[in-house]
């Protein structure tokens, strides 16, 4: 008996707690976001929320008394709206009765209550969230005022019914239709906001009690009125939306029995009747907005599933005997994500892009509901267009360190674009055709370089990477304009760095857009690059300067240009590029590495015999030292060689290089190396964030090619490097001309670019982030 009493008490407590829980939003998530508003991913959306809330502080509260017409009841307190897609009949003098134009909204809607209801719900939601996140009572006070005017005040309140919702002039004595029942769908989210508001001083327990009573009455009307019952019998999204409202209003009003009954009936009444075994929703597909309504219906189901989970009912996996279920319907729409409207075999006369984005949000929410569906998360992230001001970020997104890093990078690179644009107008830069930001000069000015500079491709490449992450056309346009600035370099035979310059810019562009013009530039760059190849030396010559010192110098950096050559053979079928790349890789592997797999920077060859003349350094501390960025180039280069050739010798070489460098006893704890690991004065010498970014990116790729245990080790190291870069090496927002990382070292012995930002550090940092994200997926 005692156990039974305890069980009853526990059940009552669970019910009581559920009555105060969010219906759709996750309070724990919101609390986590509240503690993270300073993080880049959330800050813009929070600032936009506060700006929106501030705009409503002085607005006049809206009410049903403001409409221009009076309902058939003669009581303006009765809500009244007009059917969205009905228009005056042009063949009739008075336009009556109105006729249907499916998918085309009639602006007469603005004269009645629907838009004011939606605006009120949106404003209350905005203000309640602003209060919750900021703690400023002025937002709660305004939200409470709006609620009281719309729902409570004797002179302005809305009667809790929808008798005249979605009426059609000239039909049914201007009485409302069943479809008007879902005019109040915006109240579903608003009630979640109201439950946050209950923690404020302004929204009193009396207010909460009155609002719960009001929604209890509206719930009763929906369940018992002819319109409400007819809406429940609809065969399409209307009945699903009806049910979602009923559940939300019941949960808020405290009617757990109704909420449970409706949720439990969803599979049989909605999923199995509206979704075919192949996932089609025939009642939605016959509309002129077929994709949009298919998505719309699924979004209601997601709301229902989330509300069900809140009270311990899980129905999202419910499947009929012949295979009908929610996930089939999602999967039916998935192949059209990212496609053009012409690829959709049904009608969608407008809003294609908008509905695509709404479906991406549905995919994201479903992945939270069902973490096993990682494919949904992957598709959502691949195709969503990130708007940093979007409130969805606050309400739903579980942002991690990668997301925050990209959000930071977006802000910085916008600033960088402005700084670069200004610098290009300076007379000296114009005269010398310096168009790309590379670093910061010793005098503190922005260092701009010519398209022939070996670093010219990294800044446009970073812009393409931002486009890849955000899918925002802004970044595509910026990347396009900054990429074509350096096109002339495709003919430049005086450098071995065309892979750095052209593959990281035009190559990225072709990879992301598939546009032939970019491909042509990269292929010409490959043709130009192999003119520096010597069949006698079996390498690509690096530098042309210091001919009194070197006859045919090859530097370890040159491995990074081979990717473009391997790709060129894949694209053209011409083996010459592949042969040059393989010969260069083999020659470098033979002569550049010591027995411990550390690397020389420069190996000079006799161009007549191919014999080695000298093994030296140029940018390291000494000929026998471990120049950090050089070790990173070697690791990255041989990892790429293995990607294309699958030659185990290259994989072994990459692993040896990684294991040597990561095993150095004086490697700093944060894994950001000194500029040279044998430099005198360690630890009081400059670091090189660029070397860490390059190495982290390479390790993420290497992780895919080795046994799982070894791969995890490499990934853990890369994670720690990226974490260190995120926490201790990033610039402050809108400083340092928009560069992302501090503390890189370019040419220490030459006294150039020491402890500065560098555009290639930023490029490989972004690439490392992308590879880290890909491994998570």
Active centre residues (catalytic): 497, 557
Cα–Cα separations (whole angstroms), residue 598 to 674, 677, 679: 15, 11, 15
| End-to-end CA separation in angstroms for the chain | 51
Which of 230, 352, 331 minimizes the C-alpha distance to 288? 352
d(CA 285, CA 289): 8
Tokens representing residue 527 in the block:
């043709």
Mention every residue, 6+ apart, whose C-beta is less than 8 A from residue 520.
none
Mention every residue, 6+ apart, whose C-beta is less than 8 A from residue 135.
none
The maximal CA–CA distance of the chain, rounded, in angstroms, is 104
Tokens representing residue 359 in the block:
């479906």
Which of 548, 536, 545 minimizes the C-alpha distance to 612? 536
Tokens representing residue 182 in the block:
């879902």
Tally DSSP H helices, then E strands, for the chain: 31, 13
d(CA 78, CA 113): 10
d(CA 487, CA 475): 19
Which of 62, 64, 66, 103 minimizes the C-alpha distance to 83? 103
Owner of token pair 């500079």: 453
- If residue 583 lies in a helix (H) or strand (E), which one and from where to where? helix 576-591
d(CA 135, CA 155): 31
Mention every residue, 6+ apart, whose C-beta is less than 8 A from residue 121.
186, 187, 189, 190
């Amino acid at each position: 008996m005692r156990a039974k009493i305890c069980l009853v008490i526990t059940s009552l407590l669970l019910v009581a707690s559920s009555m105060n829980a969010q219906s759709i939003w996750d309070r724990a998530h919101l609390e986590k976001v509240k503690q993270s508003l300073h993080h880049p991913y959330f800050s813009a959306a929070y600032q936009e929320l506060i700006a929106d809330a501030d705009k409503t502080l002085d607005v006049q509260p809206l009410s049903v008394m403001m409409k221009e017409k009076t309902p058939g009841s003669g009581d303006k307190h009765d809500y009244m709206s007009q059917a969205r897609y009905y228009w005056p009949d042009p063949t009739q003098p008075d336009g009556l009765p109105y006729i249907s134009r499916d998918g085309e909204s009639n602006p007469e809607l603005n004269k009645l209550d629907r838009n004011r209801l939606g605006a009120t719900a949106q404003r209350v939601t905005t203000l309640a969230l602003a209060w919750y996140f900021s703690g400023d009572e002025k937002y709660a006070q305004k939200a409470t005022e709006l609620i009281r005017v719309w729902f409570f005040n004797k002179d302005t309140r809305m009667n809790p019914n929808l008798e005249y919702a979605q009426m059609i002039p000239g039909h049914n004595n201007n009485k409302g239709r069943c479809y008007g029942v879902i005019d109040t769908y915006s109240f579903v989210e608003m009630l979640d906001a109201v439950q946050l508001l209950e923690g404020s001083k302004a929204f009193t327990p009396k207010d909460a009690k009155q609002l719960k009573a009001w929604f209890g009455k509206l719930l009763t009307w929906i369940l018992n009125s002819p319109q409400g019952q007819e809406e429940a019998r609809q065969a399409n999204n209307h009945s699903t939306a009806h049910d979602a409202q009923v559940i939300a209003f019941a949960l808020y009003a405290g009617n757990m029995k109704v909420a449970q009954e409706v949720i439990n009936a969803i599979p049989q009444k909605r999923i199995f009747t509206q979704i075919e075994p192949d996932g089609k929703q025939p009642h939605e597909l016959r509309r002129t907005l077929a994709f949009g309504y298919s998505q719309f219906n699924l979004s209601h189901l997601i709301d229902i599933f989330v509300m069900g989970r809140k009270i311990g009912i899980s129905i999202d996996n419910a499947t009929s005997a012949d295979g009908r279920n929610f996930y089939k319907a999602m999967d039916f729409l998935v192949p059209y994500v990212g496609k053009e409207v012409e690829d959709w075999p049904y009608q969608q006369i407008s809003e294609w892009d908008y509905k695509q984005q709404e479906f991406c949000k549905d995919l994201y929410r479903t992945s939270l509901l069902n973490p096993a569906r990682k494919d949904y998360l992957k598709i959502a992230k691949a195709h969503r267009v990130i708007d940093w001001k979007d409130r969805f970020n606050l309400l739903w997104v579980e942002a991690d360190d990668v997301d925050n890093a990209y959000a930071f990078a977006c802000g910085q690179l916008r600033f960088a674009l402005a700084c670069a644009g200004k610098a290009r107008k300076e007379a000296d830069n114009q005269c010398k055709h310096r168009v790309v930001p590379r670093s910061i000069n010793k005098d503190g000015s922005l260092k701009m370089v010519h398209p022939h500079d070996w670093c010219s491709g990294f800044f446009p490449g970073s812009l393409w990477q931002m486009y890849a992450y955000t899918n925002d056309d802004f970044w595509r346009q910026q990347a396009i304009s900054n990429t074509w600035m350096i096109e002339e370099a495709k003919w430049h035979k005086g450098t071995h760095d065309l892979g750095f310059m052209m593959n990281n810019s035009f190559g990225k562009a072709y990879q992301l857009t598939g546009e032939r013009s970019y491909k042509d530039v990269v292929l010409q760059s490959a043709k130009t690059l192999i003119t520096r190849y010597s069949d006698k030396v079996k390498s690509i010559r690096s530098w042309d300067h210091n001919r009194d010192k070197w006859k045919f110098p090859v530097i370890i950096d040159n491995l990074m240009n081979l990717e473009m050559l391997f790709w060129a053979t894949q694209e053209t079928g011409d083996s010459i590029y592949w042969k040059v790349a393989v010969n260069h890789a083999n020659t470098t592997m033979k002569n550049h590495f010591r027995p411990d797999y550390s690397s020389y920077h420069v190996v000079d060859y006799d161009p007549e015999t191919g014999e080695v003349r000298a093994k030296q350094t140029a940018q390291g501390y000494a000929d026998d030292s471990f120049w950090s960025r050089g070790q990173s180039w070697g690791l990255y280069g041989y990892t790429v060689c293995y990607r294309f050739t699958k030659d185990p010798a290259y994989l072994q070489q990459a692993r040896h290089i990684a294991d040597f460098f990561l095993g150095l006893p004086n490697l700093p704890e944060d894994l950001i190396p000194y500029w040279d690991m044998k430099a005198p004065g360690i630890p009081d010498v400059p670091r090189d964030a660029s070397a860490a970014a390059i190495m982290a990116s390479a390790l993420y790729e290497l992780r895919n090619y080795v046994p799982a245990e070894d791969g995890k080790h490499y990934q853990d190291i890369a994670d720690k490097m990226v974490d260190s870069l995120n926490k201790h090496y990033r610039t402050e927002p809108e400083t340092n001309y928009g560069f992302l990382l501090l503390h890189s070292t370019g040419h220490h012995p030459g006294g150039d670019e020491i402890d500065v930002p560098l555009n290639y550090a930023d490029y490989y940092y972004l690439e490392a982030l992308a590879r880290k994200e890909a491994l998570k997926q």
